[in-house]
């Protein structure tokens, strides 16, 4: 082995050994300045509100400002692109919703790879999709709805907040799994979509439980089942698909926290611990519940595995239904 080769290997080995120590040192002084928390949608929504709640708790526990900046545009891709390009030092975070795992398949112009370009911190909270129907259908359970749809292919329609939205994909997942033929009618937002179902115009819908809960509780639509592994405390009388005797089909609207790829693992772990601690606080649980969300707070590795599974699941649905952006 040549002298130059031996010197190169010693230098490379030394650098590799130094990296964990550098990351640990960074975690000891982190955060050294205010932390930007990007929310890639407009202000006021559930994602924004939940993120601001946790940012406040992080500021209190880590004694540094965590400020939320809304960067809407391009279906969330604008804010995601900014987060992806930020310095990997933990001083830029991004709050993500379902578009993060949907866009890479749905939109060929998506500027990021959800697995390669980010370091997962935690899946913070989630609310399940709930299948709702107008009373005029006469379906008292999800099994009765499926039987009605199978007996009347192409006769009924379902509303969504728009093409490629979580409600649209949940509807297509439902169609594929149970072999029913219902017509998709996209609206400009979740509110108009739910209003159309409450009015009986598009008598079926797949909204987030956080959106539909007041209408279900008020008897304006009937909640038939939640597409989650367990019942929601917000609407404890609405069963899961499994409890209804059907397969376990899950479709969650979620809020997760990511960092740019390359942030040292000690910093990732520090933020994970602090967010998980915040999610366990009584006032945080109470405020999330008012939004229809249940706290989760899993580990970075668990969140990474979940992201891969969700990307694959929705890619399959998008491909099978041949969903294209208008």
- Residue-wise pLDDT for 85-141, tens only, equals 999 999 999 999 999 999 999 998 899 999 999 999 999 999 999 999 999 999 999
In the predicted structure, residue 58 carries a pLDDT above the cut 80? yes
DSSP state of 238: S
User: For residue range 147-163, what is the model confidence (pLDDT) as tens digits?
Assistant: 999 999 999 999 999 99
Task: Characterize 277-286 residue by residue with b for buried, 16 or more Cβ atoms within 10 angstroms of its Cβ, and e for exposed.
Answer: ebbeeeebee
| Cis peptide upstream of residue 314 (ω within 30 degrees of 0) | no
User: For residue range 293-314, what is the model confidence (pLDDT) as tens digits?
Assistant: 999 999 999 999 999 999 999 9
| Residue 232 covered by a domain | no
Task: Determine the pLDDT at residue 258.
Answer: 98
Residue closest to 180 by CA, chosen among 213, 144, 212, 216: 144
| Residue 71 covered by a domain | yes
Final residue of a structural domain among 227, 242, 262: 227
161 and 55 in a single domain? The answer is no
In the predicted structure, residue 263 carries a pLDDT above the cut 90? yes
Count: domains in the chain? 2
272 and 317 in a single domain? The answer is yes
**With 0-12 CB in 10 A as exposed, 13-18 as middle and 19+ as buried, what is 223?**
buried
Give the pTM.
Answer: 0.88
Q: Could you tell me the CATH number of the domain that includes residue 133? A: 3.40.190.10
Final residue of a structural domain among 227, 262, 287: 227
144 and 290 in a single domain? The answer is no
Residue closest to 126 by CA, chosen among 247, 314, 296, 319: 296
Task: State the Cα–Cα distance between residues 233 and 50, nearest whole angstrom.
Answer: 18
Written as six digits, the tokens of 240 are: 């899961």
* C-alpha dist (Å) from residue 216 to 125, 172, 237, 238, 241: 21, 22, 11, 10, 17
Task: Determine the pLDDT at residue 8.
Answer: 44
| Residue 240 covered by a domain | no
86 and 190 in a single domain? The answer is no
101 and 14 in a single domain? The answer is yes
Residue closest to 22 by CA, chosen among 121, 89, 84, 83: 89
Which range marks the domain in which residue 302 is found? 6-127+252-321
Ranges of H-type helices in the chain: 3-29, 46-62, 77-85, 99-106, 142-151, 166-178, 190-198, 209-217, 265-279, 282-290, 300-321
User: For residue range 211-240, what is the model confidence (pLDDT) as tens digits?
Assistant: 899 999 999 999 999 998 888 888 899 999
Task: Determine the pLDDT at residue 15.
Answer: 52
């Amino acid at each position: 082995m040549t002298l130059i080769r031996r010197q190169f290997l010693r230098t490379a080995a030394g650098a590799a050994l130094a990296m964990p120590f550098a990351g640990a040192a960074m975690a000891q002084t982190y955060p050294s300045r205010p932390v930007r928390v990007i929310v890639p949608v407009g202000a006021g929504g559930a994602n924004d509100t939940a993120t601001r709640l946790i940012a406040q708790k992080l500021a209190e526990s880590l004694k540094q400002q965590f400020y939320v900046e809304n960067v809407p545009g391009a279906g969330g891709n604008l804010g995601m692109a900014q987060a992806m390009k930020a310095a990997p030092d933990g001083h830029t975070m991004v709050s993500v919703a379902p578009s993060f795992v949907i866009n890479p398949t749905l939109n060929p112009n998506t500027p990021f790879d959800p697995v390669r370009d980010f370091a997962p911190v935690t899946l913070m909270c989630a609310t399940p999709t709930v299948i709702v129907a107008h009373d005029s259908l006469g379906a008292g359970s999800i099994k009765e709805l499926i039987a009605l749809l199978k007996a009347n292919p192409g006769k009924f329609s379902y509303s969504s907040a728009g093409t490629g939205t979580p409600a649209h994909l949940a509807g297509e997942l439902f169609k594929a799994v149970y072999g029913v033929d219902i017509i998709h009618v996209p609206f400009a937002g979740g509110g108009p979509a739910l209003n159309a179902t409450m009015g009986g115009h598009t008598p079926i819908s797949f909204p987030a439980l956080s959106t539909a809960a007041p209408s279900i509780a008020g008897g304006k639509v009937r909640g038939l089942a939640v597409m989650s592994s367990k019942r929601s405390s917000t609407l404890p009388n609405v069963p899961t698909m499994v409890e209804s005797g059907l397969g376990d089909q899950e479709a969650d609207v979620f809020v997760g926290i990511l960092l740019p790829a390359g942030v040292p693992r000690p910093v990732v772990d520090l933020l994970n611990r602090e967010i998980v601690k915040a999610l366990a606080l009584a006032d945080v649980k109470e405020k999330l519940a008012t939004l229809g969300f249940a706290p989760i707070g899993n580990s970075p590795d668990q969140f990474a595995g979940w992201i891969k599974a969700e990307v694959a699941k929705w890619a399959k649905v998008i491909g099978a239904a041949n969903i294209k952006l208008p």
